[in-house]
Amino acid sequence: MFKWLKKILGMQKNLPSSKPDDGGRKNPISICDELDKRKLNAKSEKERLTPSSTDWYSIEIQQRSTQRVPIVFPIRKLEELPTLKSLKIERLKKEAHEFKLLKEEITTLLMDTESFITQGKVKDAKEALDAVRNKIVRIKDANIRKHYIQAQKALTKLENTLEKKRLARVKEEQERKEEEESKRKAEEEQIIKEKERQEEELRKKRQEEADRLATEARKKEQAEQAERQRLEKLSAERKENWEDFYQVLESNDIRFLYHFTDKRNIPSIKRHGGLFSWHYCETNNINIPRQGGDYDSRELDKKYGLQDYVRLSFCDDHPMKYRLQQSGSDMVVLRIKIDVALLKDTLFSDINAADRLHTHGGSLLDLKRVNFDATKRHFVSKNDEDFKPHQAEVMVKTFVPLKYIVNI
């Protein structure tokens, strides 16, 4: 008890050390002696204090007119101090409430997870399940954990199903692309084959056309060669008694025969190598820029079988020339060697061969029928008896080569 009082009063530390006795031992000082000593010290301190005047301060007590009603304060009821038991009960209640709320939240999240899984929303289901995973560690409810495991399995199954579908779509897309690529390649190959076929067909057609043209060209060349040979033969083969014909012509002083034509026909005559009958020109597509005869004259030629003969005259002032000049033609007169009169198929007409009264033939007698004196006259009028004999003709079969035309 004394030790406790000493500790309260702070005396334990301030106690003086006991004086050593003669034997070297310490004698403790009693508490009463210490208290007396402190009392003496306090008294000496009080005597040293100087009293101060208190006149500077006064208290005035005011008189109250009315008596104040005392204020009665309600007695404050002290709170009951919590005990460990009450704190434990409160904590258990709070934890139970928190667990209940957590359980409800987890249950809601699991239901949301199931809903998301049903809708096929994997991302939302994962987020909800992750939230459950973070909270379920505090819950030991077997049903909730079973529900959680079922949700995990359902999510895994959904992921696997969706992955299979994705892989199926990828495979289907790949197959579709491969099919399209195969189809595209097939189409390209078909196009290439079709193009090659068309090119081959075109090449064959071109080759056939080239062969045809070459064949036609050969045939044409052969025909032309044969025609040239025929024409050369026509223009070279003389009558058996050609000397007699020559004697008649020479005795009548016939040096040249004449053919009148439009000046614009000269380039064509040069290009084709001589004079051709109008029938031969039509048959062989030889264009005559300015034709001399008309429809009636050609019909008369056909009538008498003279359409394939080149018409020559003994005179150089044929009346037909004058008529054509009057119609605007620029006429020229070609001089032809008398050699053409000696050719095998050459015919002679005593008057214009278009006249229905004419007589023509290839014999020496036909040549002698020609009135040479009448052919030598100039500007014979229509009423003159020599008008028709003046127009006597020499008709050369088909062709008169340039070599016989003197003034071209």
Q: What is the DSSP string of 155-215?
A: HHHHHHHHHHHHHHHHHHHHHHHHHHHHHHHHHHHHHHHHHHHHHHHHHHHHHHHHHHHHH
- Residue 399 pairs with which residues in a beta bridge? 276
pLDDT over 90 percentage in the chain = 27
> In the predicted model, is pLDDT for residue 197 greater than 60?
yes
Q: Tell me what the mean pLDDT of segment 173-197 comes to.
A: 87
Domain range annotation of the chain: 1-17+27-41, 88-162, 242-404
Q: What is the pLDDT of residues 277-313, one digit of tens each?
A: 999 998 888 888 887 777 888 898 899 999 999 999 9
Counted residue by residue, the chain has a size of 408
Neighbouring residues of 154: CB distance < 8 A, sequence distance ≥ 6: 113, 114, 117
Give the per-residue pLDDT at 23.
Answer: 47
Q: What is the pLDDT of residues 332-380, one digit of tens each?
A: 899 999 999 999 999 999 999 888 899 999 999 999 999 999 999 988 8
Q: What is the pLDDT of residues 72-131, one digit of tens each?
A: 777 776 667 778 888 888 888 888 888 888 888 888 888 888 888 888 888 888 888 888
Which of 129, 124, 123 has its CA nearest to residue 152? 129
Residue 244: both structure tokens together:
């007699």
